[in-house]
Structures are given as C-alpha cells and as structure tokens.
Amino acid sequence: MTNKFFLPSLLFILVSCSDSFDIDVSFGSSDSVYQGIDNAFESTYIPMYSQPILFRSANIYDGLGGEFLNYDLLLSDGVIKEISKSISAPGVFVIDATDKWITPGIIDIHSHMGVYSAPGVSTSSDGNEATSPVTAEVWAEHSLWTQDPQFALALKGGVTTFHVLPGSANLFGGRGATFKNISRNTIQAMKFPGAPHSLKMACGENPKRVYGNRRQSPSTRMGNMAGYRSAWIDAVEYADGMNESNEDRRPKRDLALDTLMGVLKGEILVQNHCYRADEMAMMIELSKEFDYKITAFHHAVEAYKIADLLADEGICAALWADWWGFKHEAYDMVQANVAIVDQARNGTGCAIVHSDDPVGIQHLNEEAAKAMAAGNRAGFNISKAHAMRWITSNPAKAAGIIDQTGSIEIGKDADIVLWSGDPFSVYSKAEKVLIDGAMAFDINDPKIQPITDFDLGIIQPQKNRIQ
C-alpha cells in the first residue's frame, strides 16, 4: 500500500489503451502471400485434469443476458455439455448448487499482470518499452512472469481469462496476448489457444508527456496523430511489399511493421487506450484513413459522450466503474458511463468493465454492480443478467475469443464460476472456479488453491505467503 493513499503514481506510468473488435474477423487463416510471424510463440496450453461435473439446482447468468433459475449444468470433456431443468447423468460427480449462482468465468480485457508483477519493483517493471513512441515490435507476453502472485488472487475473484497489454507510454505500445488463468511454468502454456494478438495504441496525455519531457516528439496531441499516421504509412507500404509474389522483391522483415500489417489484415485487434471523446472520434477517423478496425477503446472516461458513434462503429468501450481525477483526461467521470455506452442505439452498444489493476481484477463483479446501479439511477432499466455481459461475453468478443468462452452455451469451454450468492453482492465469493472443466480453485479445499513459487516460504520458511 506504499504511497497509495497519496497519489496513484503508478497510474501515470502504466496507462493502457483499448482495442477495437470485429466479430467478423478471422484469425490466422489469411491466404495472403506472407504469413508473417503468426506461428511464432504459439500456445502450448493443455487443460488441467478434469472429470465430468454436474451442478445441481443452480441459478445461472449465462453471460449473454439470460437468467436460469434452478437449472442443472453438466460439464464434460472440458466443455459445457448440457443446461436444463433436470439432467440425468449417472455416476457423474455432483455439486449441489442450491441457492448459489453460476456465471461464466470472468474475463478482464485489460490487465498488466505478469508484466507489472508484484512486488512492483524496478526489476519487474516490464510493461512499457518507453524508449521510442513506436514500439509495435514488442510483445507483452515476452515480459510475462509466470510466478506473479497476482494471477492466483485474480483467480479467487473468478477470473478465468485475462488479456495482458503493454502500457501506454507509447503511441504503439506493442502486442497484447490473452491467457487462461492457469498456473504454468512457461508463458506459452498459459496462452489462450487460438486467441488473436492485440495491438496496444495510446492517445492523449501519456505519450505526449513521456516523450515531451525528453524534448522529442510527440509532445502534443497533434504530435501523437502525426506519429500514428507516419507509422501507418510505413505499414501500408510494407504490407504491399510483402504481397509481392517475387520473394526477392519483398522488404526485409520488420517486427514492428509485421504487427501493424497484422492489424491491416484484420488478424491483430486494436486495443486503444483513449480517454477523451474527441480523441476517440479522431482515432476512428485515423482507422478509416488507413483502413483498419478499432476493436475497443480502453479507459474511455468520456465514452458516454460519443456512445452512439461507438455503437454505430461496432467499437467496444472497456471502462472503470468510477476512477477519475488522476489525470486531466480522466476528469469528466460519470458512474453511468458503462450503462450509457451499453444502452446506446437501442442497447446495441458494447460495454466492458475492465480493471487495469491487480486489486480491481479481483472485484470485477462489484465494479459491474456499481456501474449497473449508477445506470439504473440515471434512468435505465438494466438487469443483473444483462450487466453480467460486461465482464464475460463482451470482453470475450473484444479479445476475439467469443467462440470459445465468455458465455454458458453448449460446446463452449467450461470456464465457470460458482458463487456463494448473488454475484453482484460484495458479500458473495467465488467458491469454485473451473477452467476448461478443471477445478482451478476451491475456496474450501486448500489443495485446490494455487500457491506460486514466489509465495512459497517467503516470509517464514515453514509457511506460504497466504495461508
């Protein structure tokens, strides 16, 4: 808690951004001549051991707006097999979920876990390659520390999937990647299989402050724009060059331009840190100039001012419930931000509650509860079943993994949370968290609670850090 009463100083450093999401995008199956580096560092994820599990008499929010009271839910082979009033499955392990709630595993579209690991010391500060405003060549996953104790804390909060982004010091911060919240000793073994990369872009105060302080560009918002445009001009030329049928005529491979080209091809999703409404609109213009799609704006404290535009463009906004005041561009906070974005254009908006924070990620249900209540005070009529989308299916869409997870539907990954009570109550806890049908966390069984290498015997050798 050092220093945190007084100023959230870290926030100045790790600014993040948001993406744009395109549900029609197809990942990694481009038939263009040059395949880039899409096969490098692929996921080697293998689910933990699981057995078929039947939850009996559960109340369920399916993450798509549906509510099912007193239903049975069968998980088998790592996927959701059946949801109905009464399932007969002889010999299957049964968990009584009477008076409890089941939701999809919580998904955070904006995390820096593993790249800003705990303890937050200089040796673990691996999220901002703040050496040049354009560092599209770096990948957040190459910084990840698999023993970050924050992963296990997020798991206790019901988080089964999270997207790790580089920070927001740069105009182009690098690639983000999506992970299953599973304890593994290699980064690739945690990677969500088949999930697309993202490109972190950042608007506003952070890049202009970081580089302006060094008397270099960008030092203004117009400098930011010039920086993006110059990079995209190079990317378009590079992509054209890589389409040459004669290999000898192709340009030398460039990691940064590979990333930008991936965006132009629709294979990499843009997650764009951007607070102010006018800047978000400008970023949309920029995306049209160079023909790419923004998947989501992140932080977007002023998203409510352009909620219709975001809905029209099919861009999600990943938001906090109530953070404000730490920067000038975070001054116009309204607690109804999430609800206004969600309800735009007859409820076709895509709102996400994100954390950008190792404490917040453990309480995304509470953050969604605040956002829902504020929306309803502002005159909307948003149900809990609907608000559950903000921390499940909507972030799954924005991460490009909606076909695999983010909702309770037959055939999807069995990423599930069993809550002790109403998932929107501060008093409820995630009792069991399943990832691909495997029990990753059980509040009543210390044997099913991950303890990282970092946690092991660190304060007193006989004990573990949290016991």
Partner 1 sequence: MKGFSKNILLLLLTVHVSSETILLKGGLVHLGNGEPATPKDILISDNRIASVGKNLIIDGNTRVIEVNGLPVTPGLISPMSNLGIVEINSLDVTRDDESNILSAGFSIFNAFNPNSTGIPWNRSNGVTSAISTPSASSFPIFGLGSYFVLDGSLKVKGSKDIAMFGRLGSSNESRAETLAILESLLEIGRLFQNSTVDEILDMTLAEKLELQPADIIALGKVVNGGMPFVLETNRAVDILQALSIKQKYSLNLVLASVEEAPMVLDELKESNTPVIIDPMDNIPNSFDELGSNLNLGKILDGAGIPIMFSTQRSHNYHLMRQGSGNAVAHGMSYETAIQGMTDTVAKTFQLNNRGSIESGKFADIIVWDGDPLEPSSFPKIVMIEGELQDLTSRSSKLTERYTNSEEKPSSYKH
Enumerate binding residues for partner 1 (CB under 8 A): 1-8, 11-12, 118-121, 149-150, 153, 205, 209, 304-305, 307, 322-328, 331-336, 340, 358-359, 362-363, 366-367, 369-370, 372-374, 377-379, 424-429, 458-459, 465-466
Q: How far apart are CA 264 and CA 165, in angstroms?
A: 19
DSSP code string of 249-305: GSPPP-HHHHHHHHHHTTSSEEEEEE--HHHHHHHHHHHHHTT--EEEEEE-TTGGG
- Other Cβ atoms closer than 10 A to 227: 20
Q: How far is the CB of 126 from partner 1 (least distance, A)?
A: 16
222/466 with CB nearer partner 1: 466
Half-sphere exposure at residue 389, Cβ-oriented, CA atoms within 13 angstroms: 24
43/452 with CB nearer partner 1: 452
134/330 with CB nearer partner 1: 330
Q: Which two tokens stand for residue 227?
A: 């920086």
Q: How far is the CB of 199 from partner 1 (least distance, A)?
A: 25
Q: How far is the CB of 202 from partner 1 (least distance, A)?
A: 15
Q: How far apart are CA 449 and CA 432, in angstroms?
A: 10
286/374 with CB nearer partner 1: 374
Q: How far is the CB of 176 from partner 1 (least distance, A)?
A: 21
Q: Which two tokens stand for residue 274?
A: 């951007």
100/327 with CB nearer partner 1: 327
> Which residue from 248, 245, 247, 241 is spatially nearest to 264, judged by alpha carbons?
241
Q: How far is the CB of 442 from partner 1 (least distance, A)?
A: 17
Q: How far is the CB of 373 from partner 1 (least distance, A)?
A: 4
DSSP code string of 20-75: B--TT---S---SS--TTTTTT-----PPP---EEEEEEEEE-SSS-EEEEEEEEE
Q: How far is the CB of 396 from partner 1 (least distance, A)?
A: 24
184/465 with CB nearer partner 1: 465
Place of tokens 């080697």: 44
- The kind and range of the H/E element at 441 are strand 438-442
44/120 with CB nearer partner 1: 120
